Amino acid sequence: MSLRILVLGAGGVGGYFGGRLVQAGGDVTFLVRARREELSAPSDLVLLCCKAYDLDSAIESIAPAVGPATAIVPMLNGMRHLDRLDERFSAGRVLGGLCAIAATIGDGGRIEHLNKMHRLAFGLREGQTSAHAAPFAELLGRANFDGTQSDVILLEMWEKFVLLASLAGMTCLMRAPVGAIVATQDGEALMGEMIGECSAVATASGYSPRAPFLARGRAVLTERNSTFTASMLRDIERGGPTEGDHILGDLLRRARALGVPAPLLRTAVCHVEAYAARRAMEPAG
């Protein structure tokens, strides 16, 4: 079965994974801003690769391509987008998905893969069925990246949520990479407190992070001399919009709703919100 795949976005994520799917023989169409008005026929599968702050416009852009049997696989960070997509297209069409990659657009629009990590996972959520899951998994198996169908995709998404929120919260709050933070007297301890708070929210939500994940996450967040930062910090440093509310803000709201103490996360959210407020007050141009 040949899948008609629509990839929204041709940036670091969509451009990289979509290009690899083309190399693997996939029937892939890229939906970029200049051509978004041309969609008319449904696709079998939509790979949604946009930033959270572009989600509403992305939803309207892919709507003409979403038919009764279309599967939507979002690559967004966090969890909140699932509710928004479910509301617009119904929960049966929206699968779970995540990616792990460091990629950017270089000179001339070339996709630059910055390290060896290039993983894409998707999976059916509870109660879902999709005729397109098996063919998509087969295509991923031919592609030149680590592509898998996961039986625990929501848990994997929550684990990524925990690590990303911990990394973004601390690197944005300290305006520094991991190595600089842990070089301070209290940096390593604060890193531990942050991932502890984020993990507690996941656990209270019914998705307790697994021990091997936590061990790897703590190692990443406390690596000496590491230059690792969250893309959220890079967004702040260039003066652009961030996914702060979608990631940090959403996790804090969940913590409060569940009665989970999260003082460090609360401070990080305030920091990013203050940046956004200051940005909004600055004159355009």
The answer to whether residue 243 scores a pLDDT higher than 80 is yes
The answer to whether residue 116 scores a pLDDT higher than 90 is no
Say what the pLDDT of residue 117 is: 87
Quick one: pLDDT band at residue 162, thresholds 50, 70, 90? very high
DSSP the chain: ---EEEEE--SHHHHHHHHHHHHTT-EEEEE-GGGGGG--S-EEEEEE---GGGHHHHHHHHGGGEEEEEEEEE--SSSHHHHHHHHHH-TTTB-EEEEEEEEEE-GGG-EEEEEEEEEEEEEPPTT---TTHHHHHHHHHHSSSEEEE-TTHHHHHHHHHHHHHHHHHHHHHHTS-HHHHHTSTTHHHHHHHHHHHHHHHHHHTT-PPPHHHHHHHHHHHT-TT-----HHHHHHHTT---SHIIIIIHHHHHHHHHT---HHHHHHHHHHHHHHHHHHHSPP-
Q: What is the pLDDT of residues 56-110, one digit of tens each?
A: 999 999 999 999 999 999 999 999 999 999 999 999 999 999 999 877 788 877 8
The whole-model pTM stands at: 0.93
Looking at every residue in the chain, the average pLDDT score rounds to: 93
Q: Which domains does the chain have, with CATH numbers?
A: 4-151 (3.40.50.720), 155-281 (1.10.1040.10)
Q: Mean pLDDT over residues 135-152, rounded?
A: 96
